[in-house]
Structure 1
Amino acid sequence: MSWNDYSRFLSTQPNPAPPVRRGSSSQGTSPVVQNVGARTAASPQTSHSQNDGADGSTPPPTNPNSPLQPSNSATQSATTRLNNLTIEELLESPGRQSLTRLDPNRPPGTLWFDIDGSVAATVRSIFERDFKEPHANWTQTPEPVINRWFETFAQMYNWDRSINQRVRDEFEDKLKDRMSDQVSRWKAKWKNIGDEACPKWIDPTVWAGLVRFWRDPRSERKSINSRNARYHDPDGTGIHKHRSGQTSYKARARKHSEKTGDSTPDLLAVLEQTHRKPDGSFVDGKSEELFKEVSSRIEEQESQLFSGDNMESSASGGLSVHAKNKIYAEVAPRKKGRLYGAGSLQQEASSANTGPSSEDPVVLSQKLALAQACIATQAERMHSYDAYFEYLAEKDPEFAAKFKQGNQTATTAAIGTEGTETGTGATGASTETGTGATGAAIGSSSPSAAF
């Protein structure tokens, strides 16, 4: 990606412009096409930059009168080599290990689209600095242009080849959102102050193309319809909005999970963060109704957890985050398949009904802990009947003898079945063990021992 757009702007100025960072066309340099010279200073560094210092810092502007100028032919040959590389070849090229790595699981030292705002800022800077045609919306953007922008992005970040398609999809989703937001801001500013709203780095002919599209009656009708849909209030609860700003719902969910230690994002907590004001009120009636209804159902189910026989009870004394998310998914309204209040957590919200895999070690350990707690509770209850049985045995010895005889028969049958299931080779050991266990059961007068 070059700075030709900005250079054309400089050429229209009556007075000489100050030197431009990372080299300009007036200095006789030609940055590598789709190079990181187009990114912001806060973007990750790349080994392909021809103008970066060895320590990653930006060098001072070069003196135009200096006899030592970079070779145009050398830079163009580097450009040609980069343009001839496919994405797969680019990802395998040497020197990429120093680039910031993308990973949806976010291990230490990695970033991801909906979690880290710096990635979204990079996507925005790419299309802004390479906006060479009047693409007023996503559908007008040609595929070759999108490919060029993605190739630029691939020179700023590194990732595993196995997630190539996912990175491409996430990039396009983020690009679509950022492009729509920025063009909408340009249009709103143009309606207020006219062509003075044109950013200085945009080619005047490109800006004129955008203005022609905005003035088109068909485009204006579509814009009005979209605006009416956004401000439509069919249920009388107010216009739907949120307070998340530029921070994605996934980023907020991750911060909340880091505080609680739970890897599952809490949809209700995210709804409260994005729709509740500091004074406790909600931005609209719909989010307030949803929050109250979900909270009420959670409290109702948590009150039933301490019945003693409920296997869903946990040591924390409340529902798990997954159980809360399931309630949220049942209560929250949907529009075009998207769950209200979930934002970019739609995938996590859809998994609330299915739940985590039954083979998940974390899930298995939780189930084991619940089962052990339930068994301990039942054993404690059974032992509490010992005193009652002893009292009955004193009052009615005949009944006590019959009860003991019945328990001995059941215990012997159970142990015999267990010995048979251990296999032929272990019959002797099982029989011996069974005899010992039977004797122990016979010698016991406790009803809890019979179980």
Structure 2
Amino acid sequence: MSFSRKDYSRFLSQGNAPAPRASRSQGNAPRASRSQGNASRNCNPPSPASQNQQAGLSLPPSNPNSPNPSHSATHPPTGRLNDLTLEELLDSPGRQSLQRLDPNRPPGTLWFDIDGSVAAYDRKIFERVFKEPHANWTQTPNAVVNLWYESFAQMYNWDKFINERVRDEFEDKLKDRMSDQVSRWKGKWKNKGDEAKPKLIDPQVWAGLVRFWRDPKSEIRSINSRNARYHDPDGLGISKHRSGQTSFKSRARKHCEETVDSTPNFLVVLEQTHRKPDGTFIDRKSEEIYKEVSSRIEEEESQLFTGDNTESSASGGLSVAAKNKIYAQVAPRKKGRLYGVGSLQHEASSVTAGPAPTHNDPVILSEKLAAAEARLQLQAEKIHSFDAYFEYLAEKDPVFAACIEDHLNRQMQTPQELRRATRPEAIRPEPIRPAELRQELVPDQPPLLHKLFNFSLF
């Protein structure tokens, strides 16, 4: 859907021309502006959705020869603007037929940073409804972001309980797209001048962007930002990655599908995005983090396999969650973002960067239990394999059979019975028939060898 400059001006006037947005680094101000209750929501400008229009309509094609996007003759802007609040738009019954968003990605759903079509639609909204010279995210008013979000809500549907998360993901993605696009426009303008103006951008909007780029204060901020991006305070190299257009979350999801694991492995993501095909890392910082995390994981796993080390073959080592805890402890954080995990910040926020997992960790205890059960099963199989040897020896050597029977009888007797049985007058040798050794002395008792050595498996 598209809007003319007149509609956009009316949109801003009805929203009382809100002040520019504050930066996310300034705390929770942006979230507070969205969560002040229904009173503040009702002050938002009218939604572009029409009560008589299907909620799933996408943006109509624009005239590339005109700076203002064209409108559909069957759906004029005045028919689409109405008194629906954002909450009412999200509760519209026609939204059930829209493409669904779900962070867990069940079949038939999409999500940010995993499916490129969602990010592409964010960029389309920004480019087609860019009606004011907002050169960066900080200058963009809340009313404009709400307009973009309402356009996005007419393309996708999601469960109400993830409304806030969808809004956050939408703004984060749109913020990145806006920064990248305006930066590209500026780069082309420096090379070509006004000939670099995109066809969809109004000439007055473009002139406002150029004025901002020519402002000495703006140029100083741009230089400072560039220096900050290329700053190397630790002397370990400039932080960068090799993921390209593929998001970290997409790489993590692909690895989870290959390993049939629901939790993304941060160390694997770091290796995939910061390690070259020849095995070297693109910077020393990521290399040191990888080596330190790997070393701690090996140390923790070696402590799991105590005793006769038979647990090492039965156990797969630390769980992915336990490894991520170690990663969160080693990797640094900057402004709340964990280094090396990119778009997996939501997953990283649920990881406690505390001490490394201890032996009382439920995950470790369950792994130890599984290894112990496997070891006991192996011992039981070995014990059963010896039964045939003892039965064969008992048939060939009656004296040996008598010793075995006497040993079994002593184990089954109480201390008082044992003392009475060992008196000289109580000893009465009897002939032993080897065939009887195959029968259990007491019904439902363990096999012969189990009685002989008093093995207890559980």
| TM-score, normalised with respect to structure 2 | 0.66
On the 8 A contact 2:315/2:367 being kept in 1, the answer is: no
Residue of structure 2 in register with 1:448 after alignment = 455
Alignment of 1:47-446 (within 5 A): 47-48=56-57, 75-76=76-77, 78-80=79-81, 83-308=82-307, 315=314, 317-353=316-352, 369-370=370-371, 372-373=373-374, 375-376=376-377, 405=414, 444-446=451-453
What is the RMSD of the two structures over their aligned residues, measured on CA atoms? 4.6
Cα–Cα, structure 1 residues 444 and 269, in superposed 2: closer, same or farther, change >3 Å? closer
Q: Report the Cα offset of residue 217 of structure 1.
A: 2.3
* Secondary structure at 1:307 match in 2: coil
* Aligned-partner Cα distance in 1 for 2:417–2:234: 68
* Aligned-partner Cα distance in 2 for 1:287–1:298: 16
Identical aligned pairs, as a percentage? 68
Which letter maps to 1:202?
A: I
* Aligned-partner Cα distance in 2 for 1:153–1:93: 14
Q: Report the Cα offset of residue 383 of structure 1.
A: 9.5
* Aligned-partner Cα distance in 2 for 1:281–1:229: 25
Cα–Cα, structure 1 residues 314 and 128, in superposed 2: closer, same or farther, change >3 Å? farther
Q: Report the Cα offset of residue 246 of structure 1.
A: 2.5
| Residues 391-442 of structure 1: CA deviation (Å, up to 9, x unaligned) | 9x979x99x9699757999xxxxxxxxxxxxxxxxxxxxxxxxx999999xx
On the 8 A contact 2:238/2:283 being kept in 1, the answer is: yes
On the 8 A contact 1:249/1:344 being kept in 2, the answer is: yes
Cα–Cα, structure 1 residues 407 and 257, in superposed 2: closer, same or farther, change >3 Å? farther
On the 8 A contact 1:382/1:448 being kept in 2, the answer is: no
On the 8 A contact 1:313/1:319 being kept in 2, the answer is: no
Cα–Cα, structure 1 residues 367 and 123, in superposed 2: closer, same or farther, change >3 Å? farther
Which letter maps to 1:231?
A: Y
On the 8 A contact 2:315/2:370 being kept in 1, the answer is: no
Residue of structure 2 in register with 1:18 after alignment = none
| Residues 157-185 of structure 1: CA deviation (Å, up to 9, x unaligned) | 11122222221121111111111111122
On the 8 A contact 1:238/1:286 being kept in 2, the answer is: yes
* Aligned-partner Cα distance in 2 for 1:250–1:306: 33
Cα–Cα, structure 1 residues 273 and 35, in superposed 2: closer, same or farther, change >3 Å? farther
* Secondary structure at 2:76 match in 1: helix
Structure 1: segments with no counterpart, 5+ residues = 6-32, 37-44, 52-57, 59-68, 410-434
Cα–Cα, structure 1 residues 93 and 87, in superposed 2: closer, same or farther, change >3 Å? same
* Secondary structure at 1:101 match in 2: strand
Cα–Cα, structure 1 residues 91 and 338, in superposed 2: closer, same or farther, change >3 Å? closer
| Residues 170-229 of structure 1: CA deviation (Å, up to 9, x unaligned) | 111111111111112222222233222221211111111112222222222222221111
* Aligned-partner Cα distance in 2 for 1:377–1:286: 45
* Aligned-partner Cα distance in 2 for 1:402–1:229: 79
Which letter maps to 1:347?
A: H
* Aligned-partner Cα distance in 2 for 1:236–1:337: 22
Structure 2: segments with no counterpart, 5+ residues = 6-46, 62-70, 390-399, 419-441
Residue of structure 1 in register with 2:2 after alignment = 2
* Aligned-partner Cα distance in 2 for 1:288–1:124: 34
Q: Report the Cα offset of residue 253 of structure 1.
A: 0.3
Q: Report the Cα offset of residue 320 of structure 1.
A: 2.5
Which letter maps to 2:263?
A: T
* Secondary structure at 2:130 match in 1: coil
